[in-house]
Amino acid sequence: MSASSCVQCCFSPLLMTLSAAQLLVLLSVVWPSYVTTYCRKPRGFETKLVPDSMWAPTERLIENLGYDAAVHTIPTPDGYLLTVHRISGAKQKSPRDRPPHNTPVLVSAGLASNSEMWVLREPNLATSLVNAGFDVWLTNFRGNSYGLRHETLHPKRHEFWDFSWHENGLIDQASTIDYVLETTGRNKLITIGHSMGSTAQVVLLSEKPSYAEKVLCSVFLAPPIYFSKPPVLPTALRNLFYLLPQLKESTGRNVVNDKMPFMDQCMAAYCFQTANEKFNNLCRAGISAMLGKPQKRISDVNALKLLAHFPGGGSIRQVLHYGQSIASGGFQKYDFGSVKNLKLYGSPHPPSYNLSAITTPIYVYYGTSDGLVSSEDVRKFTKQCPAVKEVHALPYNHLDYALADDINEAYIKPVIGTLMKYI
């Protein structure tokens, strides 16, 4: 991507004056529907807080931390080409390292995120797993910045974006599991999912119970399953769910099958004041309002690392599917409307996912300050899913799993301790 196009992919100050409804109408009509690569360092944006190497793709971030990275392309049955990053081992191992057992672990990020989120800093979950002897695979779902390829469809086509997290789980996650097992010659692996990465795994295990034979156990970090008591951002998504049909009428075009506006836009230049190397208080407040109050004030360095890589792309239907869950209070398949529902499901209403069909052992970590997933709704999921073995509460918001200072002691070591029981 050229420097000029990178600037074009960032917000215009004019857009900041519009209402949310006006923004979505405008963007669904005139905003480019495809960005060829994730927007990197904006032109004219200079800072000494982080090195230029921070504005890099996943494989470079892994190598910058001293580990080997390999890039794999996984084809799905419906033609998507998913990029997955494998961390094969530390370049320099200390004498304390235990011999690698090489148990494969799939680590999946959430909505509007990608594999970069796991390797922004150290300590982190991904390289900690490598040091514990695991064969780590950082996955990417269709629609994020590493899932924009298809055998026949271009991302400018609406058909490319005709998916929600149902397809992320049923197709993407299943294809990735099968590929990793075939590549490694193993019969089983472990999955770890943050946010939508957890949702996708629940979809797969409930819809295809046979995958329990391929998964030793699953760890869910901040799993968004139920939304009976939605905090601030889920409430906004619920309102968006009711707004979209009106947008379709007013614009005369289908806004549902498209990429979600702003989900792949570079925010660093608008949230960071390079003159004094400070994170904008308005952006800081916005993140706290949407994702929950962080355990500790996010450092300016970590905030910039986050904004260099997040958000990372997604579809309107992914967001809308969550909006449907919020509106219904249940955990159901995508609602296409009564006519199409009858054709697909045999019922005018979408069926609920069968959580009782899940037999893979599940370990849940959730944040008591999470602005997206409430403690009550996590507990509802753990009661509805008999496969849940342990539940751990942390004083975290939705992104503290990547940004908090105490992640090593708070959840990384406990998670690794649990996984070691399955190797």
Active site amino acids:
195, 370, 398
Closest CA to 222 of 3, 399, 422, 34: 399
Residue 68 contacts by C-beta under 8 Å, 6 or more apart in sequence?
62, 87, 88, 89, 90, 91
DSSP 4: H
Look at the chain and count its residues.
423
Tally Cβ neighbours within 10 Å of residue 172: 26
Coil/strand/helix, residue 107: strand
Interatomic CA distance for residues 365 and 396, integer angstroms: 10
First to last CA, the chain: 43
d(CA 255, CA 248): 6
CA-to-CA dists, residue 269 to 6, 43, 45, 213, 361, angstroms: 11, 9, 6, 47, 43
Rounded distance between C-alpha atoms, residue 346 and residue 195, angstroms: 30
In terms of Cα–Cα distance, which of 233, 267, 263 is closest to 397? 233
- Quick one: which of 82, 403, 364, 351 has its CA closest to 195? 364
